[in-house]
Amino acid sequence: MNARFAPGDRVRVLAAYPPGHCRTPYYCRGHAGVVERVCGEFGNPEQLAYALSGDPPRPLYRVRFEQRELWPGYRGRPLDCVEIEIFQHWLEPA
């Protein structure tokens, strides 16, 4: 599977709430950030969690979010950020 996004691209995490295991933290869902790097391709953890193959491998990105984007009323420095590794099927262009 080809990587849909490149470093510098602005992306938004899906505001999705599926049942079962996933590795996308609740607090970043629906929020926008910037792709910091493409980490490679990995088996889909949402399938691997059920002893399924996890194929085809999915591109994984390190996405940088500004803290003030994630937390209403964030009082730290304006450039504070957090980086989260998120699979491609959780991201859309922003």
Partner 1 sequence: MAKKKRKAAKAKPAKAGRRAARTKASRPQAPRPEAKTVRGHHDMGGLPAGAVKKREHDYALWEKRVDAMMVLLSDRKRRLMNTDMLRRGIESLPADAYDRMSYYERWIHSIATMMLERGVVTRAELDARIAKLKRAAA
Residue type (1 letter), 68: R
CB of 19 to partner 1, least distance (A): 8
CB of 44 to partner 1, least distance (A): 9
Residue 39's contacts (CB-CB under 8 Å, 6 or more residues apart) are 59, 60, 61, 62, 85
**Binding letters toward partner 1, positions 26-65, x by CB under 8 A:** xx-----------------xx-xxxx--------------
Residues 2-31 that bind partner 1 (CB under 8 A): 15, 17, 20-21, 23, 25-27
Which lies closer to partner 1 via its Cβ, residue 39 or residue 48? 48
How many chain residues interact with partner 1 (CB under 8 A)?
16
What DSSP string runs through the chain? ------TT-EEEE-----SS---S-GGGTT-EEEEEEEEEEE--HHHHTTT---PSPEEEEEEEEEHHHHSTT--S-TT-EEEEEEEGGGEEE-
Residues that bind partner 1 (CB under 8 A): 15, 17, 20-21, 23, 25-27, 45-46, 48-51, 70-71
